[in-house]
Amino acid sequence: MLPGKLLVILFTIMQKIVVRQPVPNSNLSSDDLSPLLTRIYQNRGICNNNEINHDLASLPSFEKLSGIKQAVDCLWQVLKEQKKFLILGDYDADGATSTALAVRALQAFGAKQVVYLVPNRFTYGYGLTPEIVQVAAGYKPDLIVTVDNGISSHAGVAVAKQLGIKVVVTDHHIAGASLPEADAIVNPNQPGDQFESKNLAGVGVVFYVMLALRKFLREQNWFAEQNIVEPNMAGLLDLVALGTVADIVKLDHNNRILVAQGLRRIRAGKCCAGIKALLKVAKRNEEQLTANDLGFAVGPRLNAAGRLDDMSLGIACLLADAEAAALQKAFELNNLNNERRVIEADMQQQAWRELSRLQLDKELPLGLCLYDANWHQGVVGILASRVKDRVHRPVIAFAKVDANELKGSARSVSGLHIRDVLDTIAAQNPDLISKFGGHAMAAGLTINLNGYQDFCDAFTKEVGKYLDQDDLAGRIYIDGELTAAELTLESAAMLRNAGPWGQGFPEPMFSGRFNIKDQRLVANKHLKLTLALDGSNQLIDAIAFNVDLDSWPNERCDNLNAVYRLDVNEYRGIKRLQLIVEHLDP
C-alpha cells in the first residue's frame, strides 16, 4: 500500500462529524451579539458576557501566584545593586518569546547587566541541567532566571546553588512529586498555587512576574529616582501572544485576553521589529493578522531555529530593534524552516510506510510509538503531531541520540493526559524512562535504546486504561449548518474578529451540502471550487488543501457534503467570502 493511500484511508475511516452543543443554563446576553455568534460562544462553554471581555482590566491579579513575592525580592536585590541577570530559556517558540520578554523588561526597568543562554538541544538537552549550569557560570551571573523550564531541574538548581548562584524558576509545566530547591518558584501548576488560570504558557508566567516587579519598583519610587520612564507592559504583549499561541496551550479566558491584546498591537503596527520581519517573510498582512497566522506562519519559523540549529538566532531576531537586522535574521529563520519542511516530509513518508505494515482495523495500537534511526531529533515533535492528527490516538516519535539513548516527543488526544501517563510508567518501571516532562497534550522523554520495545508495550497498556477504540475515532466538531443569509462576507469578518480562536477555543466550523459549479487543481495539490449552497444560486469560492488526487477533481460529482471554515480572501484590495474546506464527501 502506498503511503499516500494509507493516509487517505486513515483519514476516511476514522472521521465522525459531531455537532457541538451549547452550555446549559448560559447567562450570555445576546443584546450586542448576532444569533450566530451567540450560538458559537455558547457552544464553547461561554456562560456570561464577562468571558468575552478582552480588556486588560479583566486579567486576574498576579498576587495569587505562589512564590511571586519571593521572585520579586530576588530580582529586586540584583537590580538595585546592578548585578548580573542570566535568563535561561528553552529552545522552542515559547522559550524564545519568554527569554526575549524577560530581557526586554529587565532592560526597560534599568538593568545594565542582562544576558541570556539557551541550551542547544543536541548538546545539553532541555532545561537547567548541571552541564548547562557550568556553561552559565562562565558568564558570572548573580541570578539565573529560568523561563519556560526549571520545574524539574533539581540537579541543575543544586549545582547552581553550590556555585553561589541564586535561581528563580519561572515555568508552566506540571510539577513532579518534589520541587527543586530554588530561591523562588513561580508556576501556576505547582502544588497549592491559587492562580485562576492553570493554562499560562511560559511567556505568560514571566509576563506576570515582570508585572509584579514593575509594581514593586513603582512603590519603591525606583523609576523616578533612576530617571526612567515607567514602562508600559502592554508593549510586551506581542511576544506574549506569539508564545502563547505557538505553544498550543488552552486559550482560556485569561489567555484569550493576552492573545487578543497582543494581536491588537501587532495589527496596529506596534510590535517588535522581529515579529514584523517574521510576518514579512511569511507573507502575512499584519493589519489582518489572526491567531492562526501566529500558530502556522510565525511560530514554525521561530521554532525552526531550535529544531535544526540554535534558538539564539530566534531570540536575537525578537530582540533586534533595527528593521534591517531583524529582517536578516528572519530570512535565516525562514531558510531553516524550509529545510525543516524537507526533513519532515521525508520522515512522514517513512512513518506512513511503517504504518502500512499494520492492519488498520485490527493491529494499530491504542498508543502508537514510532522510531527510525535516521530521524532528526529536532523534528520528531512535529512528526508525532502530524501522525496523531491522522490516526487519532496518542503518538510518540523517537529519534536516536547516540548508541544508547532515544529521545521521544509525545502528542496526545482529548481525554488522555500524556505527562501523567509517562509519570505512571516511570513509577511502575523505574529503569525504563531516564527523564521526562511536559503537560496534558505534549511531553518529551528520554529512554534507553534497548528498552524501546518494553516502553512501547508499557505505553500501549497504560493508554488502554483511559481510552478505547471509540475514544480514538476521529471527530470533526462543527457548529451546525449556515443558512444562505448567514453565509456571507460579513459573517466571515465577524468571526475573524470574534476570536482569538485556538487550542481549547476552536475556530468555528460548519457543514453543508453544496452544488459544484466548477472544480480545478491549483499548485497540483489544492482543489479550487466554485460552490452554491443547496437550494441557492449564490456562488461561493472555496478551497480544499492537499486533497486526495485519486479522488479529486471528480468531474462526475455534481455536489458534495463539506465541513468548512469561513474566510475573507483579499486580492488586489477586493475582499470576497471564501470557504476553507476541511473535509469533503461526494
Clarify whether residues 98 and 129 are in a common domain. yes
Domains of the chain: total: 3
Query: Cα 431–434–439 angle (5° rounding)?
Result: 120
Radius of gyration of the chain (CA): 24
Q: Which helix (H) or strand (E) holds 532?
A: strand 526-533
- CA 315 to CA 282: how far, in whole Å? 18
CATH assignment at residue 363 = 3.10.310.30
Q: Which helix (H) or strand (E) holds 337?
A: helix 323-355
pLDDT at residue 8 tops 50: no
Clarify whether residues 39 and 67 are in a common domain. no
Clarify whether residues 229 and 291 are in a common domain. yes
Does the CA dihedral 278-281-282-288 come out positive or negative? positive
Clarify whether residues 510 and 492 are in a common domain. yes
Confidence of residue 317 (pLDDT cuts 50, 70, 90): very high
Residue recorded with cell 519559523: 301
**pLDDT tens-digit readout, 142-188:** 999 999 999 999 999 999 999 999 999 999 998 888 999 999 999 99
Clarify whether residues 45 and 61 are in a common domain. no
Confidence of residue 363 (pLDDT cuts 50, 70, 90): low
Q: Examine the fold and report which residue of 455, 472, 489 is the final residue of a domain before the chain moves on.
A: 472
Reduced to 3 states (helix: H, G, I; strand: E, B; else coil), residue 135 is helix
Clarify whether residues 480 and 436 are in a common domain. no
Nearest to 511 by CA among 17, 127, 11, 14: 17
Q: Domain of residue 123: give its range.
A: 56-333
Q: Which helix (H) or strand (E) holds 462?
A: helix 452-463
- Average pLDDT rounded to a whole number, residues 105-110: 98
Clarify whether residues 179 and 317 are in a common domain. yes
Clarify whether residues 169 and 72 are in a common domain. yes
Q: Examine the fold and report which residue of 472, 491, 509 is the final residue of a domain before the chain moves on.
A: 472
CB contact at 8 A, 330 and 317: yes
pLDDT at residue 2 tops 70: no
Average pLDDT for the chain: 91
Nearest to 420 by CA among 395, 406, 394, 438: 438
**pLDDT tens-digit readout, 21-40:** 988 877 887 778 999 999 99
Task: Enter the C-alpha cell of residue 532.
Answer: 452554491
Clarify whether residues 425 and 537 are in a common domain. no
pTM of the model: 0.89
CB contact at 8 A, 582 and 561: no
Q: Examine the fold and report which residue of 472, 495, 522 is the final residue of a domain before the chain moves on.
A: 472
Q: How many residues would you count in the chain?
A: 586
How far does Cα 68 stand from its chain's mean position? Answer: 25
Clarify whether residues 275 and 131 are in a common domain. yes
CATH assignment at residue 198 = 3.90.1640.30
Clarify whether residues 213 and 66 are in a common domain. yes
Clarify whether residues 562 and 509 are in a common domain. yes
